């Protein structure tokens, strides 16, 4: 929804004439706080995500990264500015996007197959077709043979695979991911990252991936967007990642260009991380949390 009196935007086009998948135009988001007043999570945020692009967003804790995803998903409305999906304002839930949260939202009383079938069934696909479709997606994420397991019978990595299949089966054009692998152990995380890259390479969905891990951002993305510390977080920089594809997330970290990109981004991010940490630290003479 546009703020009153604001003229509608038209989508930006690339050299081929294609409208960007996602655009933020001078977006602010403010939240009411107890006692009156507001907290500005974001102020003056503008950027675009091209169709088929893998964009990673990094920034300090409390820098508005999840708020950006919620705005893109249509779960929040901007306090100012506009969010567009494929040239049209996001007004209500963005039906062209799927959202993969940090914690999976699998229904514990349903099997892996039944969880993945939910989307097609809600879209009124016949049950037999939905089941066949879900079986194919479980095979694509490496879970053939685990269709009848319940979430509590699956490892953390397996549950993430089910959640990924659950998101992708409905055919979203944009995949929004909020630190989806942060709770996994290092080895499982690397496997999931490679699986994600393989699936993205096959279908070229537009991906917006939020992470605190700069290594992960560079290993996965075409471009890394850096947000400042809050309040009033803004875009500090946009850094292309010119590393060869296809990639293995473990091996790509050894590439000389990886280190160069890391240094470039960290030089911009480091001060913001320290500023956010200092803002959270207890004041002198107060008790530590």
Helix (H) or strand (E) segment spanning residue 69: helix 65-73
Q: Which of 99-103, 114-118, 168-172, 210-214 has the lowest mean pLDDT?
A: 99-103
Q: Is the pLDDT assigned to residue 5 strictly greater than 60?
A: no
Gyration radius of the chain over CA positions: 20
Average pLDDT over residues 64-76: 95
Q: What is the pLDDT of residue 210?
A: 96
Contact in structure between 61 and 212 (CB atoms under 8 Å): yes
pLDDT in tens, 200-255: 999 899 999 999 999 999 999 999 999 998 889 999 999 999 999 999 999 999 99
Distance CA 2, CA 110 (A): 39
| pLDDT confidence bin for 47, thresholds 50/70/90 | very high
pLDDT at 288 over 80: no
How far apart (Å, rounded) are the C-alpha atoms in residues 282 and 289? 8
Q: Is the pLDDT of residue 289 over 60?
A: no
Listing DSSP states for 8-36 in one string gives PP---B-TTSPBPSEEEEEEEEEEE-TTS
Give yes or no for residue 8 having a pLDDT over 90.
Answer: no
Sheet-wide strand order for 80-85: 38-49, 22-32, 80-85, 88-89
- Predicted confidence at residue 126, as pLDDT, reads 93
Q: What pLDDT, in 10s, does the model give residues 83-98?
A: 999 999 999 999 999 9
pLDDT of residue 189: 92
The arithmetic mean of pLDDT across residues 59-76, rounded, is 92
What average pLDDT does the segment 25-52 reach? 93
The pLDDT of residue 284 is: 44
Average pLDDT, the chain: 89
pLDDT at 266 over 80: yes
How much is the pLDDT for 14? 53
Asked whether residue 279 carries a pLDDT value surpassing 80, the answer given is: no
The gap from C-alpha 256 to its chain's centroid, in whole angstroms, comes to 27
d(CA 248, CA 121): 35
CA–CA distance, 45 with 70 (Å, rounded to integer): 14
CA distance 221 to 58: 11
Q: How confident is the model at residue 286, as a pLDDT?
A: 44
């Amino acid at each position: 929804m546009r703020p009153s009196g604001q003229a509608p935007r038209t989508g930006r086009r690339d050299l081929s004439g294609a409208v960007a998948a996602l655009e933020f135009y001078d977006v602010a988001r403010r939240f009411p706080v107890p006692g009156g007043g507001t907290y500005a999570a974001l102020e003056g945020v503008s950027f675009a995500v091209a169709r088929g692009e893998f964009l990673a967003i990094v920034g300090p804790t409390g820098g508005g990264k999840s708020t950006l995803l919620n705005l893109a998903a249509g779960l929040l409305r901007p306090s100012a500015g506009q969010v567009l999906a494929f040239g049209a304002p996001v007004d209500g839930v963005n039906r062209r996007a799927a959202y993969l949260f940090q914690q999976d939202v699998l229904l514990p009383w349903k099997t892996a197959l039944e969880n993945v079938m939910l989307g097609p069934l809600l879209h009124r696909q016949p049950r037999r077709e939905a089941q066949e479709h879900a079986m194919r997606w479980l095979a694509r994420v490496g879970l053939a043979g685990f269709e009848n397991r319940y979430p509590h019978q699956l490892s953390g990595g397996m549950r993430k695979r089910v959640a990924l299949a659950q998101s992708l089966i409905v055919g979203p054009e944009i995949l929004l991911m909020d630190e989806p692998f942060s709770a996994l152990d290092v080895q499982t995380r690397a496997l999931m990252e490679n699986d994600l890259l393989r699936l993205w390479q096959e279908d070229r969905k537009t991906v917006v991936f939020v992470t605190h891990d700069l290594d992960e951002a560079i290993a996965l993305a075409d471009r890394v967007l850096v947000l400042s510390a809050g309040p009033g977080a803004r875009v500090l920089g946009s850094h292309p990642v010119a590393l060869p594809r296809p990639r293995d997330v473990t091996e790509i970290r050894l590439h000389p260009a990886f280190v160069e990109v890391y240094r470039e981004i960290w030089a911009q991010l480091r001060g913001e991380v320290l500023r956010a940490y200092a803002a959270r630290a207890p004041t002198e003479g107060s008790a530590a949390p």
